[in-house]
């Protein structure tokens, strides 16, 4: 099955303790689509300005991402600059220039798509897009900004999505609940059938009414630029489900691994640089490595009087 | 094999958002020994004051912990009071009265023990104890206070221990390295063959020269009092290794699960209350649950031209 993503395409500027770069092609739709393109066909809907040239489009063409839905408006492309602290866990935004993104009204090239991913844009827009399209599965990302400024709209869109993919802090804020297990349950009661919570260097967890699954992060020593890691995760996760046309628990668990694998590559270099060079062999090696670092045998312990025995 | 633990026995006072209690029997040696007693024979070496009566000893007798090494000195028992914030992740110490613990000179009842656990006491004392006893396996816990005030002593004792069990923050501080994978490698180079890093609600990770293992935490909704969780983890971990007389990678991985299981029970009530009532069935149910929430199948993805196939 193919995936349609609606989100942002941006020029990012990033400063980390290890280096600095301007004019990186970024944005939620970019990181998502490049990552998902390793698993399935992806169409992208976003807006850019006149400064986004054919040269910049090359990134999408290389990964066969369908960008017929990439609108070019008069003005400048969305620009964001962020700076990361020493441990890469703290990020400060230097500037956010919405530019053409401020008046973005997504125009969908199709009325139907098997899977729709609503990247991190305003919940009102997400809801409009959701209503315009027939689909089997809808996944959604959001952020603190919308939880704080557009909670009612966000709650409305949550009633019409299947999977919510957010981070730890956002989940706690959305549910107004410090305990992450309770927070996830509360969010499930808001609409989504599945809540995926990304926990950065601590891994990820997936909650549904009847099941719980959690994994550590890939043990990354060389985190270089965390920008886009969450969207790369979503791309691998949704891309895998689309490719295998499956949403049973076992498939969703493997999707969690592929999401983590894609995110782990994404952070190794600026922007999409590392992901663009990926091979299937590298992706599957990391999947196998995940199995290796999490596997243990179920041999239970029993202490009989005076003797120790494993059963 | 049996375990000898040297550490603290204390009267704790704890205030959480859910309740408050005084005169809880706590301390590193207490939580460790009660937890480990579910797996193997445990002897405890610690000091208490005259206010620690036979009534208080009952806790240890019930779990058949050998307290012949529990010295009674003139004066008062070590007393600590802590208060937890709303999300239970922040803790402030209201007071620490070392009392008889200030002059603690551990007197070992034996010259030999298969396994020695050096609970969180000063590294100088840990080193002295280590030198007094012949043993096959030594594990050690420490805390920020010692990393900051007695780093050289701590580094010396690290050269003569097999397993270091510490938390996330302590590992980063000890290694002066923000990336936890790099931090663990640096600590391995200081002496221990295995480094176990406890990450609270995010789980735990185990590092050795050739392997890495990571698990999420048990999904606990009802965290009531986190005091002693780390020592309960260590008790389950070391207790299991002792009981099965094994230190191969597979056994160490199962030990990580048993450690996490014991910690997950410990936090459900004040002090050792919940652990004291545990049954083997409850322990093994949680082990099984760990398998259930972490298991996924290794089915790799391959994208052939135009077709999607799992291999």
Taking only the tens place, the pLDDT of each residue in A86-125 is 777 788 999 999 999 999 999 998 999 999 999 999 999 9
- Exposure string of A13-29, with b = 16+ CB inside 10 Å and e = fewer, is bbbbeeeeeeebbbbbb
Instruction: Provide the shortest C-alpha distance from residue B97 to chain A (in Å).
Output: 31
Instruction: Output DSSP code: residue A162.
Output: S
- B contact test, residue of A283, A301, A304 with most B CBs within 10 A: A301
Q: How many residues does chain B have?
A: 311
Structure tokens at A136: 């089997």
Chain B residues in contact with A280 by the CB 8 A cut-off are 301-303
Instruction: Output DSSP code: residue A218.
Output: P
Say if CB A234 and CB A259 are below 8 A apart. Answer: yes
Q: What is the pLDDT of residue B222?
A: 85
User: Among partner residues A180, A299, A308, which is closest to B201 by beta-carbon distance?
Assistant: A180
CB contact under 8 A, B308 and A181: no
User: Among partner residues B179, B202, B254, which is closest to A221 by beta-carbon distance?
Assistant: B179
Q: What is the pLDDT of residue B175?
A: 97
Instruction: Output DSSP code: residue A271.
Output: T
Say if CB A310 and CB A232 are below 8 A apart. Answer: no
Q: In angstroms, rounded to a whole number, what is the distance separating the alpha carbons of residues A15 and A201? A: 20
CB contact under 8 A, A244 and B181: no
Tokens 């024979």 belong to residue: B41
Q: How many residues does chain A have?
A: 311
pTM score, whole prediction: 0.94
Determine which of A230-244, B80-94, B204-218 has the lowest per-residue pLDDT on average. B80-94
Question: What parts of chain A have a pLDDT lower than 70?
Answer: 303-311
> Where does the pLDDT of residue B43 fall: very low under 50, low under 70, confident under 90, or very high at 90 and above?
very high
Structure tokens at B138: 């030594």
Chain B residues in contact with A202 by the CB 8 A cut-off are 199, 202-203
CB contact under 8 A, B254 and A213: no
Tokens 């912990």 belong to residue: B65
CB contact under 8 A, A257 and B296: yes
CB contact under 8 A, A294 and B240: no
Could you tell me what percentage of chain A is helix, strand and coil, using 3-state DSSP and rounding each to the nearest 5? Answer: 40, 30, 35
Say if CB A89 and CB A17 are below 8 A apart. Answer: no
Can you give the residue ranges of every domain in chain B?
3-310
Instruction: Provide the shortest C-alpha distance from residue B10 to chain A (in Å).
Output: 29
CB contact under 8 A, B219 and A212: yes
Q: What is the pLDDT of residue A306?
A: 45
Could you tell me what percentage of chain B is helix, strand and coil, using 3-state DSSP and rounding each to the nearest 5? Answer: 40, 30, 35
Between residues B269 and B18, which one has the greater pLDDT?
B269
pLDDT mean over B274-288? 96
pLDDT mean over B279-298? 95
Structure tokens at A220: 């990354």
- Identify each DSSP E strand in B73-180 by its residue range: 79-84, 91-97, 112-118, 134-141, 163-167
Chain A residues in contact with B173 by the CB 8 A cut-off are none
Question: DSSP for B196-247?
Answer: EEE-GGG-EEEEESS-EEEEPPP--S-----TTHHHHHHHHHHHHHHHHT--
Give the tens place of pLDDT for each residue, B144-166.
999 999 999 999 999 999 999 99
Between residues B194 and B299, which one has the greater pLDDT?
B194
Q: What is the pLDDT of residue A183?
A: 97
Classify strands B79-84 and B91-97 as parallel, antiparallel or unpaired: antiparallel
CB contact under 8 A, A254 and B216: no
Architecture per CATH, domain A3-310, reads as 3-Layer(aba) Sandwich (3.40)
Closest residue in A to B253 (Cα–Cα): A296
Structure tokens at B299: 């089915």
Chain B residues in contact with A212 by the CB 8 A cut-off are 219, 293
Q: Which phi and psi (to 5°) does residue A136 adopt? A: -90, -30
CB contact under 8 A, B301 and A294: no
Q: Which phi and psi (to 5°) does residue B203 adopt? A: 110, -145
Interface predicted TM-score of the whole assembly (ipTM), two decimals: 0.92
- Exposure string of B126-145, with b = 16+ CB inside 10 Å and e = fewer, is bbebbeebebebbbbbbbee
CB contact under 8 A, B296 and A250: yes
CB contact under 8 A, B301 and A280: yes
Closest residue in B to A184 (Cα–Cα): B221
Phi/psi region, residue B64 (left: phi>0; alpha: psi -120 to 50; beta: rest), is left
């Amino acid at each position: 099955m193919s995936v349609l993503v609606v989100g942002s395409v941006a020029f990012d500027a990033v400063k980390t303790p290890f280096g600095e770069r301007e004019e990186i092609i970024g944005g939620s739709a970019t990181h998502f689509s490049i990552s998902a393109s390793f698993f399935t066909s992806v169409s992208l809907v976003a807006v850019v300005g006149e400064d986004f040239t054919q040269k910049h489009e090359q990134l999408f063409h290389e990964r066969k991402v369908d960008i017929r839905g990439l609108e070019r408006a008069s003005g400048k492309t969305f620009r964001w600059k962020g700076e990361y602290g020493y441990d890469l866990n703290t990020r400060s935004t230097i500037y956010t220039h919405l530019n053409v993104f401020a008046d973005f009204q997504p125009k969908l090239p199709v009325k139907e798509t098997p899977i729709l991913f609503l990247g991190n844009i305003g919940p009102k827009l997400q809801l409009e897009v959701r209503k315009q399209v027939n689909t089997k599965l809808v996944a959604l990302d959001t952020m603190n900004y919308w939880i704080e400024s557009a909670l009612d709209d966000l709650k409305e869109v949550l009633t019409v999505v299947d999977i919510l993919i957010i981070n730890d802090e956002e989940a706690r804020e959305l549910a107004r609940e410090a305990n992450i297990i309770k927070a996830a349950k509360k969010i499930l009661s808001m609409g989504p059938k599945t809540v995926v919570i990304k926990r950065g260097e601590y891994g990820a967890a997936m909650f549904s009414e009847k099941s719980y699954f959690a994994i550590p992060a890939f043990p990354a020593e060389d985190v270089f630029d965390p920008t886009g890691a969450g969207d790369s995760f979503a791309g691998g996760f949704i891309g895998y489900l689309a490719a295998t046309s499956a949403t049973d628990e076992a498939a969703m668990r493997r999707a969690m691994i592929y999401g983590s694998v894609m995110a782990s590559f994404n952070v190794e270099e600026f922007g999409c640089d590392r992901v663009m060079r990926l091979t299937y062999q590298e992706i599957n090696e990391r999947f196998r490595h995940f199995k290796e670092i999490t596997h243990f045998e179920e041999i239970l312990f029993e202490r009989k009087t005076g003797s120790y025995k494993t059963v």
